[in-house]
Amino acid sequence: MVRLFERKQELFTNDGHIDVERLKKFDAPLQFFAIWLDPKYYSISMRQTMKYIEFYYSQIDKNSEMIGHVNCFSDVLRNKEKNRISALLAIEGGEALEGEISAIHTYYRLGVRSMTLTWNFKNHLADGVAESQSKGGLTNFGRQVVAEMEKLGMLVDVSHLSETGFWDVATITKKPFIASHSNARAVCDVPRNLSDEQLRVIAEKGGVVGLNLYAPFLAAQKQADLDDILRHIYHMLSIMGEDFIALGSDFDGIDSSAKEISSVQDVELIIERVEKEFGRQTAQKFSSENLLRVLKEVL
């Protein structure tokens, strides 16, 4: 949504990775729409976030016959009955709270149902992954936010969080949490990817890890391809099992992907390969069922 807002484009059709026209080719899919703030907006984080939220709803309203916002799991089911796309509103980075715990309640009332605690940098909640050398984790405010999110019924998202912060979340959460767009560090050793220990803990907590399609997170020192995507899936399945992996993509937040994957319509290629390699049941869990299970439990 941020990309569309900044480029004055429309949700129905645009030149990005995702639009309604391409999404509606799938069987009533669910799409996360994340509000990310460029650091230049950090001094007016809440004001800018509100602009993006208003734009999000204006686009949902324009396309209401084909896509519907979801506040709870039953909304997903209702959209599916009407063969509509489900839209889940998310915030990427706790900067949007501006250090106010009341803001998480306001965003919840406005329909936000998931939040990554940090982007790459330190904020009021925790250190981001780019700050990892400081060994900082969740602040006291961050712990309070996580507790409030669980009470309200919001997904706690640890993608972009420092590793110390990750372990803080794993220790204090009572419900499943997610890493919406992260891969396996054992396959591609970059800080944004997760260690085997982190993957195991997310599975033990009943959460999911969404596969990130950003090329530098798929393969190091080469052009990533579909085989690299499968290598991450194979490894994550071997560590976590088939019930805890999902499709995260990071579409419209990345500038390069595997060479066979240009936009959302190419996701079919990944699902087809997963079905060929691991069977229909695993493909169905990967493409939808695992995330829906978590939404049903948390929202």
Residue 255 pLDDT class (50, 70, 90 cuts): confident
- Average confidence (pLDDT) over 290-297: 98
In a domain, 206, yes or no: yes
The pLDDT mean for the chain works out to: 96
Residue 47 pLDDT class (50, 70, 90 cuts): very high
Q: What are phi and psi of 246, to 5 degrees?
A: -140, 180
In a domain, 65, yes or no: no
Render 169-207 in DSSP notation, one character per residue.
HHHH-SS--EETT--BTTTS--TTSBPHHHHHHHHHTT-
In a domain, 81, yes or no: no
241: domain CATH number is 3.20.20.140
Cβ atoms within 10 Å of 234's Cβ, excluding its own = 15
CA quadruple 143, 148, 150, 155: dihedral positive or negative? Answer: negative
CA–CA separation, 76 and 293 (whole Å): 12
- Average confidence (pLDDT) over 13-20: 96
Q: Which domain holds residue 249?
A: 176-299
Tokens representing residue 217 in the block: 């997170």
- Average confidence (pLDDT) over 41-53: 98
At residue 151, the pLDDT reads: 98
Q: Which helix (H) or strand (E) holds 268?
A: helix 267-278
Burial profile 161-189: b = 16 or more Cβ within 10 angstroms, e = fewer = bbbbbbbbbbeebebbbbbbbbbbbbbbe
> Is the pLDDT reported for residue 133 higher than 90?
no
> Is the pLDDT reported for residue 240 higher than 90?
yes
Q: What is the distance between the terminal CA atoms of the chain, rounded to a whole angstrom?
A: 22
In a domain, 260, yes or no: yes
Residue 275 pLDDT class (50, 70, 90 cuts): very high
> Is the pLDDT reported for residue 277 higher than 90?
yes
Residues 6+ positions from 116 with CB-CB distance below 8 Å: 34, 90, 91, 92, 93, 94, 157, 158, 159, 160, 161, 180
Instruction: Choose the weakest-confidence range: 35-49, 52-66, 106-120, 256-270.
Output: 256-270
In a domain, 138, yes or no: no
**Residue 128, beta-bridge partner list:** 161
CA–CA separation, 277 and 146 (whole Å): 37
Tokens representing residue 272 in the block: 């087809």
In a domain, 212, yes or no: yes
- Average confidence (pLDDT) over 259-285: 96
- Average confidence (pLDDT) over 206-221: 96
At residue 256, the pLDDT reads: 87
Burial profile 121-160: b = 16 or more Cβ within 10 angstroms, e = fewer = ebbbbbbbbbbbeeebbbbebbbebbeebbebbbbbbbbb
In a domain, 100, yes or no: no
At residue 272, the pLDDT reads: 97
Instruction: Choose the weakest-confidence range: 150-164, 237-251, 253-267.
Output: 253-267
In a domain, 295, yes or no: yes
CA atoms within 13 A on the CB side of 24: 15
> Is the pLDDT reported for residue 225 higher than 90?
yes
Number of structural domains (the chain) is 1
> Is the pLDDT reported for residue 221 higher than 90?
no
